[in-house]
Amino acid sequence: MNPARQSDATALAFALFAATTMIAQQVAGKATRDALFLSNFDVTDLPKVVIAAAIASMTGVLIMSRLLSRFSPAALMPVVFGISALLFTGEWVLLDYQPGVASIVLYLHMAVFGAILISGFWSIINERFDPHSAKQRVARIAAAAAFGGVLGGLLAARVAALLDVRTMLLVLSGLHGICLVAVRGIGTPTRVIQSDHDVKTRSAFTVIANTRYLQWMAVLMVLVAVMAALVDYAFKAEASARYQDSESLIAFFATFYASVGLLGFVLQTLLGRRVLQHFGIGATIAILPAVIAVFGSIGAALTHLWSMVLLRGGHAMFFNSFFRTAFELLYTPLPPHKKRPTKSIIDVASDRLGDLIGSGLILLLLLLLPDLPTALIAACAVMTALLALYVVSRLNTGYISQLAHSLRKGVVRIEEDDIMDATTRQILAETDRWSEREFLQSRIDSMLDHQDETTAAGETGAEDDAARFARAVAGLDSGDANRIRYALSSTVMDIHLTPWIIPLLENDEVVQDVRTELRWLTPRIIGQLTDALLDPDIPLLARQRLPGVLEVSHNPRVINGLMLGMMDESFNIRFSCARALGRMRSRNTSLLVPREQVFSAIHRELDVSTDTWEGHDLELQPEETTDDATVDLHFNRGLEHVFTLLALTLDPDAVHISRQAVFSTDANLRGTALEYLENVLPADLYNKLLDHLGASDEGRKGLRSLSEIVNELKSVVQHRIQ
Closest C-alpha to 675, from 33, 128, 148, 130? 130
**Does 427 score more than 90 pLDDT?**
no
In a domain, 96, yes or no: yes
Burial 221-237 (b: 16+ CB within 10 A, else e): bbbbbbbbbbbbbbbbb
For 280, 317, 669, the CA distances from 120, given in Å and listed in that order, are 24, 21, 23
In this prediction, residue 135 carries a pLDDT of 56
**Mean local confidence (pLDDT), 9-17:** 85
In a domain, 404, yes or no: yes
Same-domain pairing of 24 and 150: yes
Do 348 and 207 touch, CB atoms closer than 8 A? Answer: no
In a domain, 483, yes or no: no
Nearest-angstrom CA–CA distance, 645 and 643: 5
Burial 52-70 (b: 16+ CB within 10 A, else e): ebbbbbbebbbebbebbbe
10-14, 221-225, 240-244, 308-312: range with lowest mean pLDDT: 240-244
Residues 340-349 pLDDT 10s: 667 767 877 7
Could you tell me how far CA 396 lies from the centroid of its own chain?
Answer: 9
**Mean local confidence (pLDDT), 5-12:** 69
- In the chain, what is the straight-line distance between the N-terminal and C-terminal CA atoms, in Å? 27
Task: Say if residue 718 is exposed, middle or buried (CB neighbours under 10 Å; 0-12, 13-18, 19+).
Answer: exposed
Same-domain pairing of 539 and 576: yes
Same-domain pairing of 110 and 168: yes
Domain that holds residue 309: 3-411
**Does 384 score more than 90 pLDDT?**
yes
The percentage of the chain sitting over the pLDDT mark of 90, rounded to a whole number, equals 12
Same-domain pairing of 145 and 270: yes
Closest C-alpha to 292, from 320, 311, 276, 310? 311
Confidence of residue 383 (pLDDT cuts 50, 70, 90): very high
**553 in helix, strand or coil?**
coil
Same-domain pairing of 332 and 442: no
**Does 485 score more than 70 pLDDT?**
yes
320-324, 537-541, 617-621, 683-687: range with lowest mean pLDDT: 617-621
How many C-beta atoms lie closer than 10 Å to residue 617's C-beta? 15
37-41, 155-159, 169-173, 646-650: range with lowest mean pLDDT: 155-159
Residues 548-600 pLDDT 10s: 899 888 888 888 899 998 888 888 899 999 999 988 888 887 788 888 888 88
Q: Is the dihedral of CA 120, 126, 129, 134 positive or negative?
A: positive
Same-domain pairing of 306 and 439: no
Nearest-angstrom CA–CA distance, 421 and 644: 9
How many distinct structural domains can be found in the chain? Answer: 2
Could you tell me how far CA 355 lies from the centroid of its own chain?
Answer: 29
Nearest-angstrom CA–CA distance, 266 and 262: 6
**Mean local confidence (pLDDT), 521-526:** 85
Written as one letter, the residue type at 277 is: Q
Q: Is the dihedral of CA 92, 94, 95, 101 positive or negative?
A: negative
Could you tell me how far CA 169 lies from the centroid of its own chain?
Answer: 41
In a domain, 470, yes or no: no
314-323, 362-371, 456-465: range with lowest mean pLDDT: 456-465
More confident residue, 665 or 450: 665
In this prediction, residue 707 carries a pLDDT of 37
Same-domain pairing of 186 and 230: yes
Radius of gyration of the chain (CA): 33
Nearest-angstrom CA–CA distance, 243 and 217: 38
For 40, 152, 570, 610, 647, the CA distances from 613, given in Å and listed in that order, are 73, 54, 13, 5, 20
Residue 468 phi, psi (nearest 5): -65, -40
Task: Say if residue 495 is exposed, middle or buried (CB neighbours under 10 Å; 0-12, 13-18, 19+).
Answer: exposed
Same-domain pairing of 189 and 270: yes
Considering 411, 440, 470, which residue would you say is the last residue of a domain?
A: 411
The residues near 694 (Cβ < 8 Å, ≥ 6 apart) are 634, 715, 716, 717
Do 321 and 264 touch, CB atoms closer than 8 A? Answer: yes
More confident residue, 498 or 424: 498
Same-domain pairing of 124 and 28: yes
In a domain, 349, yes or no: yes
In a domain, 357, yes or no: yes
In this prediction, residue 139 carries a pLDDT of 66
**Does 240 score more than 90 pLDDT?**
no
Confidence of residue 275 (pLDDT cuts 50, 70, 90): confident
For 239, 271, 352, the CA distances from 164, given in Å and listed in that order, are 20, 37, 31
In a domain, 90, yes or no: yes
In a domain, 482, yes or no: no
In this prediction, residue 3 carries a pLDDT of 40
Nearest-angstrom CA–CA distance, 554 and 559: 7
Count of helix runs (H) and strand runs (E) in the chain:
33, 0
In this prediction, residue 293 carries a pLDDT of 94
For 118, 374, 506, 528, the CA distances from 290, given in Å and listed in that order, are 24, 20, 62, 56
Nearest-angstrom CA–CA distance, 291 and 231: 12
Averaged pLDDT score across all residues of the chain: 75
Same-domain pairing of 286 and 357: yes
Residues 149-199 pLDDT 10s: 778 777 777 766 666 777 888 989 999 999 999 988 887 765 444 444 444
CATH code of residue 383 = 1.20.1250.20
**Mean local confidence (pLDDT), 319-338:** 74
Residues 276-320 pLDDT 10s: 767 777 888 899 999 999 999 998 898 888 889 899 988 888 887
Q: What share of the chain is helix, strand, coil (3-state, %, to 5)?
A: 80, 0, 20
**Mean local confidence (pLDDT), 650-664:** 76
In this prediction, residue 466 carries a pLDDT of 67
**Mean local confidence (pLDDT), 223-231:** 92
**614 in helix, strand or coil?**
helix
Nearest-angstrom CA–CA distance, 670 and 153: 40
Same-domain pairing of 327 and 438: no
Confidence of residue 63 (pLDDT cuts 50, 70, 90): confident
Same-domain pairing of 270 and 221: yes
